[in-house]
Structures are given as structure tokens and as C-alpha cells.
A and B are shown apart, each in its own frame.
Chain A
């Protein structure tokens, strides 16, 4: 295995380890924040749904961004 192959392999393992967390954490934070905002404003459950959707979008955006950076550097 060459050094380039090793680096690529390492990069792909790193991405595989990251993927579930990068995609799942933002919607959960969005859910918490939305619920907190709903509690403060009495708008239950609208902000919760809005922030879950924004969280999913944030997760996908961050994942694509990291994928680009990792693939550019390996």
C-alpha cells in the first residue's frame, strides 16, 4: 500500500466515522432550541418543526462542506 493509498483510506475512515454524527447532531440541537423557543413564545410546536428542518439542512450542508475539504486534502 502506498502512502497516498494509506492517506486516502484514512480519509475515508475519518469520513465514515464522522457521517452519522455530523448528520444527526444538528437536527437534535434544532429540536432542543425549537422546543425552548416554543416554551418561551407559546408557539408549540411550530418552532420545533422549523428548527428540526433547519437542523437537517445544516447537517447536510456541513457534511458536504467537510467532504469537500477532506477530499481536497487527501
Chain B
């Protein structure tokens, strides 16, 4: 088989919509064991498989770090404590001391998204956040939490009043029929924005790395048969994107929680 044929085989074997995909553990298993019952099933659940793997990885690291707790932390405990401290500080800075109770949720969200994003840069793994299904699921969780907090903090009537623009005089009540759909559209567009932004950025990065790895295999095939690793600079860029996307998702969720608190309305 020629180099071009081999490269096509590797990158386009499981391509979705003609987009080259770097081979990962699941696609390799699927290609090798296509005739079995489990391989197509595993391939169908590829993104779920990697997202569960990310959750298990984070759990494993944290359990390992918390196994022998020392007063003066060293090694893994020190590393994990640093991450937790950074997350806690960033959230409390925005939400104030009351935000302490949201640290477990927001911290988990940040670490989970960061871990999923970084999976895309590890050979044989895939970033599940480059799938719209996964990002929509996360955005729906955030949406449900924010709506629950809106109703809990303001009451159903208070929330509807807030959606109508909190009218205080006759002009405000006249504007209410226009402000209500505007506010409703804003609430609905928030999870869509969250999901699309994360998916778009991660999918774009995934495609970019895939294409450059593919082109790298085709450059000078007779001199460098293993290919030129053209994707390496974009993988460094991917490190930055992975961190930024996880941070932006968490920051936005924090701001949405802040906006759901009754005190924030006074400052709007």
C-alpha cells in the first residue's frame, strides 16, 4: 500500500463527514474487531466512553492524592491542593463568601472539562468535548441549576417579574410585554451559547490537528516514512485552548449563578 493510501486508511477510516480524525483507542479496536458484537457498540459510544474515562481519571488522581493527607503537602497532594485552591479562590472572588457552596460543582465542572479537552492531545485518546452531545449535556446541567437557583432565590412570581424587566412604574409595565420575550430568549440562548462555544473551539482544534497530522504523513514519504509531525505547534496551541475553554465555561457558569442571586438585580 502506498503512503497516501496508508494515510487515508488511518485518518479517514472513521471520518465523520469527510473530516480526518486522528486514530484513537476505540477507532483502532473498532477497525481491528469489526466483526465482533462489542466493537461496533463501543464505537457507537466512543464519546461517552472517553468522558467516563476522564471522570474516572480525575477520581483516581484525587483519591490517590487524598490517601495520605499530610499537614505540609508534598508531591501529588501538593499539586491537587494547588488546583483546588486556585479554583476556590477564583470562584469566591466572583461570588463572594456565599459562593463557597458552589465550589464543589464549579470546581468539578472546570476539572472535568479541562481533562476532557486535554484528552484530545494525548495519543490514542479523544477529546469528548469535541462532540456536541457532550457539551449540550453539560450546558443543560448548568441551565437546570441556574433556573433552580432563580426560582429558589426569587420565587416563581419574582422570577417572572424579573423576566418582565422588574417594572416599577407605568412605563415599566408598558415595556414588560417586549422585555419578557427578550429575557426569555436570553435565558434559552445561554446553554446554547455555552455548548456551541466549547464544541466549536474543541472541534476546530481537533480538525486542525487531524489535518496537519495527515499532511505530515504525506510530506517527504520516502525520506521520512514516519511523517513530519506538523501538528506539534498546534498541540501547544491546544494546551492553551483547553485551559481557556475550561476556564471560560466555568467563569460563565459562575456569572450566571451570580446573576440568579437577588442582590445582582439591584446592580443590573
Do A and B pair up? The answer is yes
Q: Report the Cα distance A66→B251, complex, angstroms.
A: 11
> Is B259 in contact with A69, judged by CB distance below 8 angstroms?
yes
- Which residues does chain A contribute within 8 Å of B93, judged by CB atoms? 73
Contact between B247 and A73, CB atoms less than 8 A apart: no
CB distance from B133 to the nearest CB of A (A): 18
Q: Is the CB of B251 within 8 A of A58?
A: no
The residues in A between 39 and 66 inclusive whose CB is less than 8 angstroms from any CB of B are 51, 54-55, 57-59, 61-62, 65-66
* CA gap between A59 and B251 in the complex, in Å: 19
Q: Which of A21, A25, A54, A69 contacts B182 (CB 8 A)?
A: A54
User: CA of A51 to CA of B178 in the docked complex: distance in angstroms?
Assistant: 10
What 1/0 flags go to B204-248 for Cβ under 8 Å of A? 000000000000000000000000000000000000000011011
| A73 to B186 CA separation, bound complex (whole angstroms) | 21
In the assembled complex, how far is the CB of residue A50 from the closest CB belonging to chain B, in whole angstroms?
9
Q: Which of A10, A14, A62, A73 contacts B189 (CB 8 A)?
A: A62
Q: B192: CB under 8 A from chain A?
A: yes
A59 / chain B contacts, CB cutoff of 8 Å = 189
**In the assembled complex, which residues on chain B have CB atoms less than 8 Å from the CB atom of A18?**
193, 197, 248, 252
List, in ascending order, chain A residues with CB within 8 A of B268's CB. 65
CB distance A26 to B248 under 8 Å? no
Q: Across the interface, do A26 and B94 meet the contact criterion of CB distance under 8 Å? A: no
Contact between B255 and A69 (Cβ–Cβ < 8 Å)? Answer: yes
Interface of B is mostly: helix
Question: A54–B180 Cα gap in the complex (Å)?
Answer: 10
Kindly state the separation between the CA atoms of A8 and B251 in the bound complex, as whole angstroms: 13
- Are A62 and B181 CB-contacts (below 8 A) given A14-B248, A17-B248? no
Q: How far is the CA of A65 from the CA of B251 in the complex (A)?
A: 14
Q: Is B183 an interface residue (CB 8 A)?
A: yes
Against B, the Cβ 8 Å flags (1 = close, 0 = not) of A1-26 are 00000000010011001100110011
Q: How far is the CB of A4 from chain B (nearest CB, A)?
A: 12
Would you give the 0/1 interface string for B88-101, flagging 1 where the beta carbon is closer than 8 Å to chain A?
00000110000000
Is B1 located at the chain interface by the 8 A CB criterion?
no
A51 vs B185: C-alpha distance when bound (angstroms): 9
B116 at interface, CB cutoff 8 A: no
Q: A10-B247, A18-B248 are in contact. Are A61 and B182 (CB under 8 A)?
A: yes
Specify which chain B residues have a CB less than 8 angstroms from the CB of A25 in the assembled complex. 189, 192-193, 196
Using CB atoms and an 8 Å cutoff, list the residues of chain A in contact with chain B.
Answer: 10, 13-14, 17-18, 21-22, 25-26, 29-30, 33, 51, 54-55, 57-59, 61-62, 65-66, 69-70, 73
Q: List 22 A-B contacts (CB under 8 A).
A: A13-B244, A17-B197, A17-B248, A18-B197, A18-B248, A18-B252, A21-B200, A26-B189, A29-B189, A51-B185, A54-B181, A54-B182, A58-B185, A58-B189, A61-B182, A62-B189, A65-B268, A66-B255, A69-B255, A69-B259, A70-B255, A73-B94
